[in-house]
Amino acid sequence: MISKEDFLVFVDGALDGMVAIVEELGDELANRRPDVDGTNTPYVILSHCLGVMEYWAGHAVAGRPIERHRPAEFVASGPVAALAERTRVARRQLGEDLAHLDPLAAPALPIDEKERDEVFGRTQGGALVHLYEELARHRGQMETCRDVLGAPWARVVTQTGLAGWASAAAERSRWILELAAEGRWDEVRLNFDDRMLASAPVGMLTGAWAQVIVLLGAFTAFGEPDVRVDSGHRVVDVPMHFERGWLTGRVALGLDDTVAGLFFLHPQAGPAS
Check whether residue 147 and residue 208 sit in a common domain.
no
Ordered mean pLDDT values, 10 residues apiece, the chain (273 residues): 91 97 92 84 93 95 85 78 90 95 91 79 93 96 93 71 68 92 92 92 93 92 87 87 93 87 75 37
Check whether residue 205 and residue 230 sit in a common domain.
yes
Check whether residue 149 and residue 71 sit in a common domain.
yes
Full residue range of the structural domain in which residue 48 is found: 4-157
Q: Give the residue from 157, 176, 193 where a domain finishes.
A: 157
Tell me how many domains the chain contains. Answer: 2
H helix intervals, 160-255? 164-181, 185-189, 194-199, 202-216
Q: Which of 249, 252, 253 is nearest to 265 (CA)?
A: 249
Check whether residue 83 and residue 204 sit in a common domain.
no
What are 84-107's pLDDT values in tens digits? 998 999 999 999 999 999 999 999
What are 184-217's pLDDT values in tens digits? 999 999 999 999 999 999 999 999 999 999 999 9
Contacts of 162 (CB under 8 A, 6+ apart): 170, 227
How far the first Cα of the chain sits from its last, in Å, is: 52
| Per-residue DSSP letter, 123 | S
